[in-house]
Chains A and B, each alone.
Chain A
């Protein structure tokens, strides 16, 4: 008897990237950091007397504040909704059920694509930040070590929001509803941040972007943020894969 060859993780990843090939999402990925830098640099130039801390830190507060609090998590919300959009259309869940593909591969390929989107956006943002500091604003101070934290922690910490959004977009058929929830989550996250509750997904993203602290987070803060993100990713992955198995059966 001929056995059907299962499609692996790499094939799923390829398919997920194909879905986003001509997506308007990439415009947002490129233009939001560009706008943030353009406006943040202008704002820094006009208000640098009022800003405390070093030049690089002052610039980061201006470029990353709104971006980190609202637009970066929302970008993840839209990306997650785009990734499930085709599956929710017409009878595509039934079609997917007939394909020899494992639920775990589907889930983790989508999560990997989201991580990729988060990295691209953050790398672009940090590259523009460095360019703006050295070339446009002509800072003489060397680039602080915190830049590395911005580069790595941003995409890692935003994965808590991304994985929750991926799960919500899987559960909710509507394209817009999970994005609305994400928007509300931004406010709840900010509220939790102001009150010292750090486990909420959007709060983890805010801590990761680090737009209000002059120094690097302490070791215990880093442990908290990373373990919090890990918690959300694992929780939503377990729930998401279970849901996918149910749909297949």
Chain B
């Protein structure tokens, strides 16, 4: 069976399973929240930006926080929904006896969820960037934002590989969902943690893509904290390197689990 045929079958299977509705709701609710925040965007006298680019970068860091919260949960929910049909009643074995290739099925499921995660990331980026462009009227730093978007794709590969491995290995869907909960928690708090913490855990790689952070300037005469926004320079070589390692791990996992099912 070729890949496009497998894609079609996968989509057909999901027709009545509210799969895309789940994705849509998981994307729309946080996106509405982001839009609400952007609607009330204004320059605070207590936050100092050295350049207009930093406004975009600081907003990008806010988006990464939101994405770090939703993407691991989305990966777990969607992949577990996709794999549950095969996990039920030994359907993997049934498919193998029907001459279906486990590796094709694995790849199609991975690509389907990965595509949806990328679409969510893209929607968040586009919404924030265009809204800010509307407010600021300044040119968009496309290059750096694009690189950070690709960097986030690397983090998505890592998150999804772990979720898919667990979803196939454990028949109990609660396992992958609880993993998603942990992953989301780790990803969410990673920007607050030292860099070594982010390097160690795959979900910490979301935080490594942040383009700006704030630095305290101390309290002003009015007693309110003042902050300076500083640019960060993500180590993309490392991010892409680890993402490649995870792609290799994904292939290895696919082979190992394919043998188990046979």
Asked if B69 and A184 make an inter-chain contact with CB atoms under 8 angstroms apart, the answer reads no
Q: A50-B225, A78-B181 are in contact. Are A25 and B188 (CB under 8 A)?
A: no
Q: In the complex, A36→B189 CA distance in Å?
A: 9
B33 at the interface (CB under 8 A from A): yes
Within 8 A of A (CB), among B213-245: 216, 225
How near does chain A come to B109, taking the closest CB pair, in angstroms?
Answer: 14
The stretch of A8-16, A101-109, A157-165, A187-195 that contacts the partner chain: A187-195
**Other-chain contact of A184, B26, B36, B173 (Cβ < 8 Å):** B26
User: Which residues on the A side are within 8 Å of B3 (C-beta)?
Assistant: none
User: Which residues on the A side are within 8 Å of B69 (C-beta)?
Assistant: 70
Residue of B nearest to A172 (CB): B18
**Other-chain contact of A74, B33, B181, B225 (Cβ < 8 Å):** B181
Asked if A32 and B185 make an inter-chain contact with CB atoms under 8 angstroms apart, the answer reads yes
**Other-chain contact of B177, A176, A187, A188 (Cβ < 8 Å):** A176
Asked if B185 and A66 make an inter-chain contact with CB atoms under 8 angstroms apart, the answer reads yes
Within 8 A of B (CB), among A158-209: 174-177, 179-181, 183-184, 187-188, 190-191
How near does chain A come to B134, taking the closest CB pair, in angstroms?
Answer: 22
| B interface majority secondary structure | helix
Asked if B174 and A66 make an inter-chain contact with CB atoms under 8 angstroms apart, the answer reads no
A82 at the interface (CB under 8 A from B): yes
Asked if A181 and B33 make an inter-chain contact with CB atoms under 8 angstroms apart, the answer reads no
A148 at the interface (CB under 8 A from B): no
Asked if B77 and A176 make an inter-chain contact with CB atoms under 8 angstroms apart, the answer reads yes
Count the A residues whose beta carbon is within 8 Å of the partner chain — how many? 36
A28 at the interface (CB under 8 A from B): yes
**Other-chain contact of A180, B77, B189, B192 (Cβ < 8 Å):** B77
User: Which residues on the A side are within 8 Å of B84 (C-beta)?
Assistant: 175-176
How near does chain B come to A47, taking the closest CB pair, in angstroms?
Answer: 8
Q: In the complex, A23→B216 CA distance in Å?
A: 44
Q: What are 20 A-to-B residue pairs whose CB atoms are below 8 Å?
A: A23-B174, A24-B172, A24-B178, A25-B174, A28-B178, A28-B182, A31-B182, A35-B182, A35-B185, A42-B192, A66-B188, A71-B184, A74-B73, A175-B80, A176-B81, A177-B18, A177-B22, A183-B29, A187-B32, A191-B36
Q: Interface on A for B, CB 8 Å cutoff?
A: 23-25, 27-28, 31-32, 35-36, 39, 42-43, 49-50, 66, 70-71, 74-75, 78, 81-82, 85, 174-177, 179-181, 183-184, 187-188, 190-191
